[in-house]
C-alpha cells in the first residue's frame, strides 16, 4: 500500500516505512543520508538486488554507489540520492504491480476450444470420441473445465492400478457415486448403465492408454446400452491401439467403428502459446520468443506454466517484471541445469 507522508518524519518512522517501499512523497521525506542508505539497503536485500544490478538500473557507477552506501562518497550526494529516490519509487510500484497480478487459473486457448468442441459433439450425438496426443498440451485441463461447467459430465482416470475391467468398473462406480449392488462385474456394469441411461450426459476416461482390451470393450458395451457419450483421452497409444492393423480387426473392430470424432493434439499451437503469454502479461519480444521455445519441448504448455510461475516468484522477490533473464534462470532451476 502507498505511504502517506504527514509532516516531518523521524528516523524511526523512516526505518519502519522503509520496510514497505513506499511512494515518492514519503521517500522524499527521508531526513538524513544515513536513513536513506538504510532504506536502499533494505530494498536491495528484500529484492535480491546486487550493487551491480542497482548501479545498472540507476545509471550510477559501481564505485560511486559503493562509496555512497558506505558513507564515504565525497561527490554530489544529492544527485545520487535523487537517482536512488527515483529507483525506490519505481521499485515499490513494480513490487505492488507484481503482487497484485494473480497467476491465471485458466487460459482460453485454441486447443482448449477444440477439445470442448469434440466433447460437445460426443455428448450431444451421443458418440464416442478420442482425444489423444503428447503430454502437456492441455488435454486434461480442458477436460476438467468442461466437466465443471457442463451438466452430467463425469471423468474417471485410468492408471496402472486401474486398467482391468473390474478396476475400471469400480472406479466408475466411485465417480458416479454408486454404492454398487455387488462386486461382480456384471452387477457393477448394470448399475452404471442404469445411472447413465437417459442422462444425456458424457463419460470421459482420461489416461485411457492404461486400459486393457476387456476394459475398453466393456466401455463400448456401456456406451451402447446407456446411449451416453463416451470420450477416451490419453497419449498416442489410445488411438494407435484402436487403429493398429490386425490388432484393430481382432480386438477393437466394434469400438473403432463407433468412433465419431478423433482429435489429435501433438504440440501446442502458436495460438495456444500466444494466449498463455497474453494471460501472463508477457509482452517483450525476447521473452515471448524464449517462451515459445520452452512450449515446444516435451511437456508443452505444462512446462511453460511451470516456467512462468517460477519466474514470477523470482520477479516478485526482486520487485520487477518477468524478463528473459529471469525466465532462463527459472528454467535452469526447473530442469536442474548446472
Burial of 318 (0-12, 13-18, 19+ CB in 10 A): buried
276 forms beta bridges with none
- The span from the CA of 221 to the CA of 242, in Å, is 16
In this prediction, residue 252 carries a pLDDT of: 67
- Contact between residue 189 and residue 223 where contact means Cβ atoms under 8 Å apart: no
In this prediction, residue 34 carries a pLDDT of: 63
Q: How many CA atoms lie within 13 A of 248 on its CB side?
A: 13
- The span from the CA of 70 to the CA of 121, in Å, is 70
Question: What are the respective helix, strand and coil percentages of the chain, to the nearest 5?
Answer: 60, 10, 30
In this prediction, residue 26 carries a pLDDT of: 36
Give the contacts of 204 (CB within 8 A, at least 6 positions apart). Answer: 119, 143, 147, 153, 154, 155, 156, 230, 231, 233
Burial 59-73 (b: 16+ CB within 10 A, else e): ebeeebbbbbbeeeb
Neighbours of 83 (CB within 10 A): 15
Q: Residue 26's Cα: distance from chain center in Å?
A: 38
In this prediction, residue 87 carries a pLDDT of: 80
Give Cα separations from 297 to 51, 136, 213, 288, 305 (angstroms): 36, 10, 32, 15, 13
In this prediction, residue 102 carries a pLDDT of: 62
What length does the chain have? 338
- Contact between residue 298 and residue 135 where contact means Cβ atoms under 8 Å apart: yes
Report DSSP letters for 88-110, one per residue. Answer: HHHHHHHHHHHHHSPPPS----H
Phi and psi at residue 148, in whole multiples of 5°? -70, -30
- Contact between residue 295 and residue 259 where contact means Cβ atoms under 8 Å apart: no
Running DSSP on this structure, what letter comes out for residue 252? I
- The span from the CA of 262 to the CA of 259, in Å, is 7
Q: Can you say whether the dihedral through the CA atoms of 328, 332, 337, 338 is positive or negative?
A: positive
Neighbours of 235 (CB within 10 A): 16
In this prediction, residue 243 carries a pLDDT of: 73
Q: CA 259, 197, 248: angle at the middle one, nearest 5? A: 25
Radius of gyration of the chain (CA): 29
Q: Which cell numbers hold the place of 198? A: 437417459
In this prediction, residue 253 carries a pLDDT of: 67
- Contact between residue 139 and residue 114 where contact means Cβ atoms under 8 Å apart: no
Instruction: List, run by run, the mean pLDDT of 10-residue segments along the chain (338 residues).
Output: 36 37 37 67 77 85 88 85 79 54 78 95 94 90 93 96 95 89 84 94 96 92 94 89 57 72 91 93 93 91 92 80 90 76
- The span from the CA of 15 to the CA of 4, in Å, is 15
Please state the pTM of the whole predicted model: 0.67
Amino acid at each position: 500500500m502507498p505511504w502517506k507522508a504527514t509532516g516531518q518524519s523521524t528516523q524511526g518512522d523512516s526505518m519502519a516505512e522503509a520496510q514497505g517501499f513506499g511512494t515518492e512523497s514519503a521517500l522524499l521525506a527521508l531526513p538524513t543520508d544515513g536513513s536513506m542508505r538504510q532504506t536502499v539497503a533494505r530494498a536491495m536485500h528484500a529484492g535480491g538486488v546486487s550493487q551491480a544490478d542497482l548501479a545498472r538500473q540507476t545509471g550510477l557507477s559501481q564505485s560511486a554507489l559503493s562509496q555512497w552506501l558506505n558513507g564515504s562518497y565525497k561527490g554530489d550526494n544529492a544527485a545520487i540520492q535523487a537517482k536512488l529516490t527515483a529507483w525506490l519509487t519505481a521499485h515499490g510500484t513494480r513490487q505492488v504491480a507484481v503482487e497484485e497480478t494473480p497467476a491465471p487459473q485458466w487460459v482460453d486457448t485454441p486447443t482448449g476450444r477444440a477439445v470442448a468442441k469434440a466433447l460437445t459433439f460426443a455428448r450431444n450425438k451421443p458418440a464416442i470420441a478420442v482425444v489423444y496426443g503428447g503430454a502437456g498440451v492441455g488435454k486434461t485441463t480442458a477436460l476438467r473445465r468442461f466437466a465443471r461447467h457442463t451438466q452430467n459430465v463425469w471423468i474417471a482416470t485410468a492408471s496402472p492400478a486401474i486398467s482391468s475391467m473390474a478396476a475400471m468398473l469400480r472406479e466408475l462406480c466411485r465417480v458416479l457415486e454408486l454404492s454398487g449392488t455387488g462386486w461382480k462385474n456384471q452387477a457393477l456394469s448394470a448399475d452404471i448403465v442404469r445411472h447413465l441411461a437417459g442422462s444425456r450426459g458424457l463419460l470421459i476416461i482420461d489416461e485411457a492408454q492404461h486400459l486393457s482390451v476387456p476394459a475398453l470393450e466393456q466401455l463400448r458395451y456401456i456406451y451402447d446400452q446407456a446411449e451416453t457419450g463416451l470420450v477416451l483421452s490419453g497419449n498416442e497409444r489410445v488411438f494407435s491401439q484402436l487403429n493398429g492393423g490386425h490388432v484393430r480387426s481382432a480386438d477393437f473392430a466394434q469400438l473403432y467403428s463407433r468412433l465419431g470424432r478423433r482429435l489429435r493434439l501433438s504440440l501446442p499451437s502458436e495460438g495456444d502459446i500466444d494466449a498463455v503469454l497474453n494471460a501472463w502479461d508477457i509482452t517483450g519480444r525476447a521473452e515471448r520468443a524464449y517462451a515459445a521455445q520452452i512450449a515446444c519441448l516435451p511437456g508443452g504448455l505444462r512446462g511453460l506454466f511451470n516456467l512462468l510461475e517460477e519466474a514470477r516468484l523470482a520477479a516478485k522477490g526482486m520487485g520487477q517484471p518477468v524478463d528473459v533473464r529471469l525466465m532462463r534462470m527459472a528454467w535452469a532451476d526447473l530442469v536442474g541445469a548446472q
